[in-house]
Structure 1
Amino acid sequence: MDHVLCGLAANTTLPYELVDRLIAVADADVAGCLADRADLGHAQAVALFSRVQECGVHLAYEGRLTAADVDPVARPDVALALLDKGAGSPQWARLLAGDPIPAHREKLAACSGLPADVVRTLAADPDVGVVAELALWTTSDAVAGSLARHPHAQVRRSAAANEATPPDALAALLTGHGLPPARRCEVCDREATPFVHERQCPRPDCTLPPGASCDGSHESAVHDIRQAALHNPATPAGDVVAFADHPSMLLRWALADRPDLPAAVYRKLAADPVPGVRADVAGNPAIDDALMRTLAGDRDPDVRRGLAHNPRVPLDVLTRLAGSVRIGATLLPRIAAATPSEVRRLVRSPIPAARMLAARRRDLRPEIRDRLADDPDAKVVKSVASHPGLTEARLRAMVDRHGIRVLAGVAANPDASPALLEHLIRHEPPVPKALREIARHPHASPRALLACLADARARPVAAGRPALPPPVVVDLLDDPDPRVVEAAAANPSLPLAVIEELIPRT
């Protein structure tokens, strides 16, 4: 990869004529970068496609090519991309439905808005993978319902995952009632039955899932069909409840985040021996307050963490959880939806973890924001440090009181001034995370950006900032780190004369 040319391809100051020159020498990597340019004209896109055919799919998805620019016989992959975007010709669909390469027909089957005759052709395709793709992506309930009865289990599994499949068909796939048994599955297509696939299969070309098995009843395929149907929100709730105590962990787990189950089923799942099942139940907004309070005492931290992320968790429960669960810098849904009175209650809490929850909001009233900024606990101050509206004096005071513990948060504050950012880079010891925040800060001065170049992870970010002095940008083109080279080449401050010298002439 030529990192200089890739960077130049993304440089927003590149004049039209230099884009043309770059197109004329582009390889696949450079073409991919050029295809992302917001100012790439249609004629340039066609020229780029003509030079580097591999970028055609990218250009098609970016809306740079039209049906008139593509020969579906020569480039079926690009034609399929346009069909997938709804920008292709219906005649292409009819042509590609008979393409000899199954992967092309599979891609076609996943496209929406296909003519009815093409859908019929794909539904009767001799390759089961093509039919399975159609069953997964069709938006026609009639087609999905028909394919739910397909003799191959792979197609049925796709229909079980499709929300367009009619509820009665989904119920039949789940229970097996009213549906003739599948005749084939992926296992018995390839192996003599009975067969159980090894968990650690030694065959490098084998694509069967670990543990796949068939004794003639296609048992692993039936399990997969049920799992897909249980995950499908269109499957009737009345038919899924019987699986809450199924021996298969995966089938019980598939129920845990459904929003339409009776309270008794949620209680059963909340007592499941598998922590992952309980964790998903804990995060489910459909469970009631009583069950949330029970789950708050679960011994597994993932269960309590799931409950903390539940948008309906009672505030007092969340406050207790905050002291025992690692939440990180995330603004929890329940806190984002908290009322002004609830926010005030959190801010007045004697528990620092509760005050931290409120401090992660970025729409706090000024008096609440400032109170949190003056909090004696460094973790609370760190949480509020990037809140907009804080004065420079208050930001400096936060750094003076708490030092490296809040430096990165202050550096990320959108109102941090150039002078404050320069103050932060002089801090001893240096804080690498703060340098990375300064490197991307819109107020970072040239002096601050030069300091950021000392950090290996901040250096590629700083190299692309327009405020960096042009001579420094030019020097960075020879950096040993290719990320830095590419960022410097994309820097709008790179002198035009240098750019012209870097692009070869044809």
Structure 2
Amino acid sequence: MLHLWAGAAANPALPAGAVERLTAVDDSTVRRELAERDDLTDRQVHRLAERDGVAASGLVGSGRLRAGQVDPERRPRAALALLQAGLAPVEWARLLVELPHLRAELAKCPGLPGEIGRRLAADPDPAVALELAESTDDPAIAALLAAHPSEHVRQALGTNPATPPDVLADLINDLPPLESCEVCRKHPVPWTHPPDCPDPDCDLPGGAACDGSHQHARHGILQAALGHPAAPAAVAARHLDHPSPFLRAALAERTDLDPAAYRALADDQQLWVLSALAENPAVEEELIRRLADHPHDLVHRAAAHNPRAPLDVLDRLAATGRLGDGLLPRIAAADPAELDHLADRPGPRTRRLVALRRDLPAPVRDRLAADPDAKVAAAVAPHPGLTATQLRAMHARHGRSVAAGIAANPDAPTALLHELLAADHNVATLRALATHPAADADVLTACLRDRRARRRAAAHPALPPDRLRTLLTDPDPVLAETAAANPSLPAADLLRLLADLPVE
């Protein structure tokens, strides 16, 4: 029943008395759904905040839990959520640091006093220092953590957006040197984790190894720090010839290297290095063109996703038909004149790339809606602003090939949705219809034929109550929970779902 209670907790039609009863349920999903409601009493807000950290964060984010309402000594978890949001006095940290079970969460808070940060950095539980490394915005604490004996803490510091350049340089240069790693702490060196490790309790990752230099641990730290945009480019570039392609790929993603470094990386033989470079907006146009000519799909597809890819390159790459289904950054940034030019290209795949935009000038949109190629028409079919007459003409011309796109158009009227159902259609059409704001009971009932469309239809407020009641007993718990959350479910049915709730 927990999944149904979670659905009921999210239902805005749930009677107030039932909300109160649900706050007694010891389930994190139920509590977090309740925390999203806007009809909670102050008592319910405090009860949820103290029982669940995620629920508390949600209540803080929505403004329903404020520092003036909370006594940090009586409600430490609620106080912690406010501290994490930067909405509580920092003095509260001095109270919470005395609670060992909250220290790892406390370490995520911004603006901690220096003495609290130092205490957390030295905590005997390594999880506390790890959380601190991921979130601290204090340069002094970051410098302290860069010398931490755990490679995991140092690696986490390398991913923290607030880590300053000098600390990142120390991580890259192994200063101070790492004295041990989780491999040599468990095995005499040299040791390499065998691919068929016989130890069922072994928790070392695949490829873990140590020959005394802690190379696997150092690799993880380097990969994090080299990929950090604040790491000094000159320090990072010293690793251009590192034997690890993962580290070279991290360098290939940087946007602050000099052109010679990018040219050196363009000679790499590893596809993931070349693909990272091909998508980098900092590389010269000459390199983009060169990488767009690479024989492997992974590389030239990455070049097509470069925001600075020349339009003629995109036109040529589109002809391969292997650029995926998403809107390309360069097309998203194209100006009206460029869109007009691309929409007139003879290759239908280029026209389709333009048709994926949802803010096209009306003349371009209308021209693509009348395109003789079904894939172009299907791509533009969901575009707002198309009239029912245009959509019907598109359907008459291309049939089921464009039906799903038309079903996704927010301006399609209910009558047209019925016409799509009456004609030849596929499950993609049903899945789009299931979320359409104009779908009525008949359309949504038809959508129940498909498993994925059923889940979407179950959330639609136009689905009739008798259908919702049937879905409540469905063996698919996600579907049943979605139906329980539907505001069209009568209050009497919601109360019946809660008949077995525990009584305090």
TM-score (norm 1): 0.90
CA distance in 1, matches of 2:28, 2:303: 47
**Equivalence for 1:13:** 13
**Equivalence for 2:455:** 460
Contact 1:128 1:154 (C-alpha < 8 Å) held by counterparts? no
CA distance in 1, matches of 2:423, 2:472: 29
- C-alpha displacement at 1:407, in angstroms? 0.6
State whether structure 2 residue 298 is matched by structure 1 residue 302. Answer: yes
Cα RMSD after superposing both structures: 2.7
CA distance in 2, matches of 1:169, 1:498: 59
Matched AA of 1:445 = D
1:224-263 alignment runs, 5 A limit: 224-263=220-259
**Equivalence for 1:59:** 56
Is the deviation greater in 413-422 or in 150-159?
150-159
- C-alpha displacement at 1:257, in angstroms? 0.8
Compared CA separation, residues 478 and 265, structure 1 to 2 (3 A): same
State whether structure 2 residue 203 is matched by structure 1 residue 215. Answer: no
CA distance in 2, matches of 1:330, 1:230: 29
CA distance in 2, matches of 1:319, 1:420: 35
CA distance in 2, matches of 1:394, 1:384: 11
CA distance in 1, matches of 2:106, 2:26: 30
Q: Count how many residue pairs are aligned between Structure 1 and Structure 2.
A: 498
State whether structure 2 residue 35 is matched by structure 1 residue 35. Answer: yes
Contact 1:61 1:85 (C-alpha < 8 Å) held by counterparts? no
CA distance in 1, matches of 2:142, 2:25: 48
1:62-81 alignment runs, 5 A limit: 62-63=59-60, 65=65, 80-81=80-81
Is the deviation greater in 111-120 or in 303-312?
111-120
Compared CA separation, residues 113 and 166, structure 1 to 2 (3 A): closer
CA distance in 1, matches of 2:128, 2:479: 44
- C-alpha displacement at 1:483, in angstroms? 3.2
1:55-454 alignment runs, 5 A limit: 55-63=52-60, 65=65, 80-87=80-87, 90=90, 92-100=92-100, 104-176=102-174, 179-428=175-424, 430-454=425-449
CA deviations 1:65-120 (Å, max 9, x no partner) are 5668878789866654443233556455334435455xx43333232221222112
CA distance in 2, matches of 1:90, 1:19: 33
Compared CA separation, residues 204 and 61, structure 1 to 2 (3 A): farther
CA distance in 2, matches of 1:205, 1:229: 30
1:478 to 461, 473, 491: 473
Compared CA separation, residues 146 and 205, structure 1 to 2 (3 A): same
Matched AA of 2:15 = P
Matched AA of 1:107 = E
TM-score (norm 2): 0.90
Compared CA separation, residues 209 and 25, structure 1 to 2 (3 A): closer
CA distance in 1, matches of 2:371, 2:457: 33
CA distance in 1, matches of 2:420, 2:114: 65
Compared CA separation, residues 24 and 224, structure 1 to 2 (3 A): closer
Contact 1:243 1:252 (C-alpha < 8 Å) held by counterparts? yes
Q: Gapped runs of 5+ residues in structure 2?
A: none
Is the deviation greater in 238-247 or in 381-390?
238-247
- C-alpha displacement at 1:466, in angstroms? 1.8
CA deviations 1:36-77 (Å, max 9, x no partner) are 223323222334568xx3x35423443255668878789866
Compared CA separation, residues 148 and 29, structure 1 to 2 (3 A): closer
CA distance in 2, matches of 1:131, 1:478: 46
Matched AA of 1:84 = Q
Indicate the SS of the match to 2:183: helix
Compared CA separation, residues 348 and 246, structure 1 to 2 (3 A): same
Percent of residue pairs identical = 51
Contact 2:31 2:55 (C-alpha < 8 Å) held by counterparts? no
Compared CA separation, residues 258 and 60, structure 1 to 2 (3 A): closer
Is the deviation greater in 30-39 or in 445-454?
30-39
CA deviations 1:362-396 (Å, max 9, x no partner) are 12222221111111111111111111111112211
Matched AA of 1:456 = R
Contact 1:418 1:445 (C-alpha < 8 Å) held by counterparts? yes
State whether structure 2 residue 485 is matched by structure 1 residue 487. Answer: no
CA distance in 2, matches of 1:155, 1:134: 8
CA distance in 1, matches of 2:79, 2:159: 27
**Equivalence for 1:23:** 23
Matched AA of 1:124 = A
Matched AA of 2:173 = T
Contact 1:389 1:415 (C-alpha < 8 Å) held by counterparts? yes
CA distance in 1, matches of 2:56, 2:170: 43
Matched AA of 2:41 = G
- C-alpha displacement at 1:305, in angstroms? 1.0
CA distance in 1, matches of 2:154, 2:477: 48
